[in-house]
Structure 1
C-alpha cells in the first residue's frame, strides 16, 4: 500500500525534517511540500492525496482552519510546537498530533497508525461481515468490536457508543454517517437518536426496545415499521 502525502508548514526546516523521515518509509510517497497554504489548497483541488502533514500556527490561515475546509475522508496529522492545540485538533478528527521537535520513532508510529486505518477501510470495502470498526476518538484512533456495541446515541454533532465491556466512546460524527459504517443485519435505527445492536435486543414492549442490562430505548414514531426486522 502506498500513502500519497503532502506537507504544509511555513518553516522550511520543519518540512526538511518531514521529508527526511518520509524518505525512510517506502509506503509513504511525499509528493510535495508547501510553505504557502493557498498553493497547497490549489494542489489539493487537482491531485489525489491520502494524507496531509499540517502545521497549525501559520500566517494567513491556520492548520485548524484549513482542516475544517477539507473533506472528512482526508487524513491529517498535525505537526506543531504548541501542545495547547491538541484538544481542538482531535475535535477535528485528526489522525495524530506530532509535537515538535519529534523524533523518527514518533513519526513512524504515526505512519503505522495511518497504514492500520487505511488497511481497515480497505478491508471494510472487501469484507461482507466486518468484526470491528475504527473511530477517531479520545485523541487517537480507537478499535471497537461490533459484538461489544449495545447501542449508539446521537448527541448533536457527536455519537456516543455504549459498550458491554468498556466505557462509552464519544465520536464527532453525525449519527446518519455512523450508521453507514454498521452492518445492516446486526444494527437497526429505531429513533432519530438511537441505533441498537439487534443481537442485544431482549424484548419489545409497546414502543420500547429492551436491551441487555435492563436498558430501555424508545422507538420513534417514524421508525415503528422497522420493528418488523427484530426477531426474538
Structure 2
C-alpha cells in the first residue's frame, strides 16, 4: 500500500484528490493540507511514499517546499500552471497533472508511481547490490552494474555507457551517483569520469582503456587509482 498526502491551498482540490485516491486500491490517502507548515510537521513524524503537490501557494511555492524536505517522497504535481513542467522534470517528479484533471488521467499518474514503488521497494537486498534504479524522463530504468563500461559527466547530467546497449542519460551529479556505488568496484578517475575497476584494461600515460575507449585520468585522481589497482592485484 502506498501512503499519500496532498498539499494544496484550495480545499476543493484536496477533496477531489482524496476522492480519486479512494478509487485506487493501492493508495492510502492519509491527509490533505492547505498550509505548508502543517504538511512539513506531519511529514517529519509520518513519512509517506507519495506527495500530491500544488505549485503556486501563498506562503511557499510547492517547488521550494519539496526542495526543503530532508526525505523526498515520490512527487506528483497538481497545478493550474503549465509553465513549471520543466522544473518538475528537474525534481524527478513522477508526473505533472494540469487542473482540471480527470480520474483517468489521475489513474495514469499514480500507476507510474506504483511502477516506481514496486521497482524500488520490492527488490531484494541481494538484487539491489547488483543494480541501480535510475529515473530517466518520467520513468525508472534498471541498470545492471556489471553492464557499465564507464560513466561520463555532462554538465548537470550523467551519461552511463553500457555494454552492447545504448547509453542512458540521467539528471544526477557525480557525487550522488558515487554514493550509490561500491568504492571498491567503481572509482572516479577524472572530474568527468567514473569507471568500474574490473573493466580497466590498461593505464598508460594517464589514459585508461576500456573496450577500445580512452578515458583520461585527472592529476588529482591518479594516486588514488594507483593505490586501488595495487590493492586489487
Q: Confirm or deny a common fold (TM above 0.5).
A: yes
TM bucket (normalised to shorter chain) is 0.7 to 0.9
Question: RMSD of aligned C-alpha atoms?
Answer: 2.7
Contact kept? 1:95, 1:136, Cα under 8 Å: no
Shift of 1:32: 0.3
Q: 1:98 corresponds to which residue?
A: 97
Structure 1 residues 128 and 149, CA gap change in structure 2 (3 angstroms): same
Q: What is the TM-score of this pair, normalised by structure 1?
A: 0.83
DSSP 3-state at the match of 2:37: helix
Contact kept? 2:207, 2:214, Cα under 8 Å: no
Contact kept? 1:8, 1:40, Cα under 8 Å: yes
Q: What is the TM-score of this pair, normalised by structure 2?
A: 0.83
Q: 1:182 corresponds to which residue?
A: 181
Cα distance in 1 between the residues matched to 2:101 and 2:230: 55
Shift of 1:142: 3.3
Cα distance in 1 between the residues matched to 2:188 and 2:113: 30
For residues 145-224 of structure 1, what are the structure 2 equivalents within 5 Å?
Answer: 145-146=143-144, 147-154=146-153, 158-164=157-163, 165-171=165-171, 173-182=172-181, 186-198=185-197, 200-218=199-217, 220-224=221-225
Contact kept? 1:132, 1:143, Cα under 8 Å: no
Structure 1 residues 136 and 111, CA gap change in structure 2 (3 angstroms): same
Structure 1 unaligned blocks of 5 or more: none
Structure 1 residues 229 and 142, CA gap change in structure 2 (3 angstroms): farther
Q: 2:114 corresponds to which residue?
A: 115
> Any idea what the Cα deviations from partners look like across 1:30-78, whole Å, max 9, x if unmatched?
1000122222122222222222100111111111111110125322111
Shift of 1:229: 5.9
Shift of 1:210: 0.9
Structure 2 unaligned blocks of 5 or more: none
Cα distance in 1 between the residues matched to 2:207 and 2:231: 15
Contact kept? 1:191, 1:223, Cα under 8 Å: no
Cα distance in 2 between the residues matched to 1:229 and 1:122: 35
Q: 1:143 corresponds to which residue?
A: 141
